[in-house]
Structure 1
Amino acid sequence: MEAIQRDEIEKEIREKQKTVDYDTKEFTIELLLSKYTKDKETDENEIYVPYYQRAFVWNLERQSKFIESVILGLPIPYIFTAEMEDGRLEIVDGSQRIRTLEAFIENKFKLIKLEVLENMNGCYFDDLPVPRKRKFLNTTLRMIVLSEKSNDDARFMVFERINTGSDLLRDMEKRLGSYQGEFTEFMVEYTKNPLFIELTGFTKKASDRKEPEELILRFFAYSDDYLDFKGNVNDFLDKYLKKQNLDGFDEEIYKQRFNNVLEFVKKYFPNGLTKTLNSKKTPRLRFEAITVGVYLALKQNPNLEPTNMDWLESDEFEQEIKGQASNSPKRVKSRIEFVRDRLLSN
């Protein structure tokens, strides 16, 4: 390896290290929970679960095994938090653990299926001897606090690389946590739009994974920049969201743009944005093709009134919204313009 390459490697490492600023803290369970529960009802608790985090998903067996691990003194993974402008700590990874501790101490569940501390099966927190309860509350947990000084790229890197097995955050969850700003807030709020809700369908799991926000982001990103899309979809969406938050946007114009599309879809698309009426799934590729295609068609002809929608059930359209390399720039452009051209041709 050339000396100049070694110098460039070292330079890059040092530059990237500067973007990550964090601190390590230790809290007793009692103190940690007080910071989490105090003023939680008014959303002013010092340590909090952000809106983008999915609902509580651990079952009783998993909660019980976690409590057993704490009592046994087994190593517990770090809780990751991010420091916000107001000094509060947003939980990046560890909300399931914190909420389990809170539920156990408040006697909301009893321990089940323990294989090591078998005599504790069926016990609530209040069933434990007083000395054991004190020891439990005085157990310390470690926390990584990503400083407010860390930039967006550093925050996203932490979100992306945290791995807790089946609880790995999805791309949109990471975006909502990393790229905060007015456009992000706008997308989240738009998921409550009654017409958007009527024309789409999501399972609870998909909603918890922020699929509605993902689709809204895709609509705006492609309707603004689909001709400039190159490479990886996630990189494209990340850059778009960061840019919108940084540069600002006219909320009323963007809201009206999507409203116009949804009203058109309601009028002319029998199944809305789903494949079948009342479906609990909104396929991404179908959503992109229809919403962005409709937007482009209305942009050319605001008074558009199509008379033939048979193409919606055609094999040709089906091929456009499925298959390999479906997110290549060529395929994205093809399916969007397919819908646009079919609407404008009749």
Structure 2
Amino acid sequence: MTNLSLLTDDKVISDEAKELAEQAIKLKQKSSDFDIREFPTELIVDKYTRPIPEIDNKTELFMPEYQREFKWSIKQQSEFIESVITDLPIPYIYVADVSDGDNEGRIEIIDGSQRIRTIARFLNNMFELESLTLVPELNGFKFKDLKGSRQLRLKRKTIRFIELIGVDEEARRQIFYRLNSGGVTLNPMEIRFGTNDGEFLLFLQELAKDEKFKRLCPISQGRIRNREYEEMLLRFFAYRFDMESYVKEVRSFLTNFMAKMNGKYIYKEGESKIIFDQVHFRNVFEEMLNFVDNNFEPLYFKKSIKNISVPRIRFEALSVGVSLALSSGQPIFKENIPEWLNSDIFSTLTDSDASNSIPKLKDRTFYVVNNLLNLPWQPSSTAFIKSLAGKSVIPFLEQGPDEEEVGIRGDQYDLF
């Protein structure tokens, strides 16, 4: 018989080292409980789309900011609905009961946002089934086209949820990344810290400590630990100075911008070069911050006075919009700031489920710019056009074809 000990290193781990390792494991373990629940699809849609007045018209079920955008094609959505209708196995959806902060008591989606949004879209007749092979007879159907009895059965079809209890924000992010990236636990900003070090990174780290910035733009401790301030600043400078380079994928756009600022980006023919001028960048940031401090009181970047953590999308729209307006050299119109800052339109444009498609990004940014310059504004995103025309009460579920998402009036958003 082979002596297995001869095939391994004869290094001996001491009892003290074993005990230290055990203590480290226990320290890193996330103490949590969970329940397995089954919700009918009709209730899932209600929890995800119905605003609740008692919690500032937020929905009970929500997507956190670290979640990815809605990217399923109509074919993928159709196949999922076909699976639900025909009782094929559906993977568990992971959610968490939020125990503190602005979202206390709400249910955060950790894994399963594409499925939840697809169910909500179909039950709201927002797309036709297509490219089905299992039940091709369903091609061309919307929910309303199904027999009444089938509609009832689909609405009470249950989906299994694993609801985590007592899990903090950092742990929820870790669970999401592990479920969606094959065990890679670093978030995008952490990855950039490891691969794009340089003068610009040090600059972001320094600005992230700015006391005025933290006062005007408070965020939770969990987000601070995940380098959210650095992420927000990166987005501000990237959209402010290089928005026209953004095509579709936010992560690669931000990573490329950081590489440009650190002198590590290889420009393609025809691309405009951007030089990192630390003095200029700081002046632009401080000019924007001072304007917000002097004119957006008492909300500043917050959605409401009760909020204790600023949504990333709201910060992006306000910071970039203010900076672009100030850089235009045109007179700033301050009289109506409270009106548009607190408007339902701006709330819709900066909803936590809003995506970063080009027209949506420019719609919310130039809503701020145009109001500050007293210029007319019209939405270009399919979702916002329908919503503001009263044709859709749930714009974050709208998904137009790519050609529609280019926008009907893209020229209104020419940068200065």
TM-score (norm 2): 0.45
Q: 1:31-89 deviations in whole A, cap 9, x for unaligned?
A: 11101001189761111123343332111111000001111112212222233322122
C-alpha contact (below 8 Å) 1:172/1:211 kept by paired residues: no
1:39 has 2:81 as partner: no
Supply the distance in 2 between the matched residues of 1:142 and 1:53 (Cα, whole angstroms).
20
C-alpha contact (below 8 Å) 1:64/1:114 kept by paired residues: yes
RMSD: 4.6
Q: 1:102-134 deviations in whole A, cap 9, x for unaligned?
A: 111111111111111122121111111112111
| CA distance 1:38–1:20, change in 2 (3 Å) | same
C-alpha contact (below 8 Å) 1:26/1:142 kept by paired residues: yes
1:132 has 2:135 as partner: no
Residue in 2 that maps onto 1:197: 240
Supply the distance in 1 between the matched residues of 2:179 and 2:68 (Cα, whole angstroms).
15
Runs of at least 5 residues in structure 2 that lack an aligned partner in the other structure: 1-11, 192-218, 283-416
Q: 1:132-188 deviations in whole A, cap 9, x for unaligned?
A: 111111111122333344462x334312210389xx998328999994149625742
Supply the distance in 2 between the matched residues of 1:10 and 1:169 (Cα, whole angstroms).
21
User: Within 5 Å, which residues of 2 pair with 1:22-171?
Assistant: 22-39=34-51, 44-84=58-98, 85=100, 86-150=104-168, 152=170, 154-163=171-180, 171=187
Relative to total residues, which structure has the larger helix share, 1 or 2?
A: 1
Supply the distance in 1 between the matched residues of 2:52 and 2:161 (Cα, whole angstroms).
20
User: Within 5 Å, which residues of 2 pair with 1:156-305?
Assistant: 156-163=173-180, 171-172=187-188, 179-181=222-224, 184=228, 187-188=231-232, 191-193=235-237, 197-199=240-242, 202-207=245-250, 209=251, 211-212=253-254, 275=267, 279=271, 291=276, 295=278
C-alpha contact (below 8 Å) 1:20/1:150 kept by paired residues: no
Q: 1:275-323 deviations in whole A, cap 9, x for unaligned?
A: 368739x9xxxx9xx75xx659x99xxxxxxxxxxxxxxxxxxxxxxxx
Q: Which has the higher contact order (CA 8 A, sep 6+)?
A: 1
Supply the distance in 1 between the matched residues of 2:179 and 2:221 (Cα, whole angstroms).
13
Residue in 2 that maps onto 1:321: none
Residue in 2 that maps onto 1:329: none
| CA distance 1:279–1:201, change in 2 (3 Å) | farther
C-alpha contact (below 8 Å) 1:20/1:151 kept by paired residues: no
Runs of at least 5 residues in structure 1 that lack an aligned partner in the other structure: 223-268, 300-346
Supply the distance in 2 between the matched residues of 1:59 and 1:6 (Cα, whole angstroms).
50
Supply the distance in 1 between the matched residues of 2:126 and 2:42 (Cα, whole angstroms).
17
| CA distance 1:13–1:192, change in 2 (3 Å) | closer
TM-score (norm 1): 0.53
Question: Identity across aligned pairs (percent)?
Answer: 31
Supply the distance in 2 between the matched residues of 1:7 and 1:170 (Cα, whole angstroms).
27
Give the number of equivalent residue pairs. Answer: 234
Supply the distance in 2 between the matched residues of 1:197 and 1:118 (Cα, whole angstroms).
48
SS in 2 for 1:65: helix
The one-letter amino acid paired with 2:107 is L
C-alpha contact (below 8 Å) 2:174/2:185 kept by paired residues: no
